[in-house]
Amino acid sequence: MSSESIERTPAVRLASVLLAIEAVAVVILAGWQVVELVTSEPASIATSIALVVMTLVAAFALFAFARGVWGGRSWGRSGGIVAQVLIFAVALGSVQGGAGHWGIAALLAAPAVLTFVVLIFASRPAGPGTSPR
């Protein structure tokens, strides 16, 4: 099936854009991590490098999910939903402990909830003639 024959609802378009924006934000986060690695003395260089690599993997995954949703792939929506749940869990974790910060939690949680809801609306109904992809 070519990408031109896929019907892209407004929810599908919006979900793809939101996932891509999140991916760009995660790439920016990775850049900030590299700057911090170079300008400060980390407790462990190996751990800091591993964190940068894992952050870039997360950005790649978000870009892949955005493309999957755009292409009408169910794995794109599923992966995007899982990513939103994980982002929301990080947001909840950011308000715990002595250094908890509600502002950071809100900045993480609000887009995750919005993207989660849009991804749910971007799902397509199953029926005769539809095949899982």
For 29, counting Cβ atoms within 10 Å of its Cβ (0-12 exposed, 13-18 middle, 19+ buried), the class is middle
Residues 120, 133, 23, CA angle at the centre, nearest 5°?
55
Whether the Cβ atoms of residue 90 and residue 101 lie closer than 8 Å to each other: no
pLDDT in tens, 18-74: 999 999 999 999 999 999 999 999 999 999 999 999 999 999 999 999 999 999 999
**Given a cut of 80, is residue 75 above it in pLDDT?**
yes
| pTM, full prediction | 0.85
Residue with tokens 């887009």, as numbered in its chain: 111
Residue 74 has a pLDDT of 92
Residue 97 has a pLDDT of 77
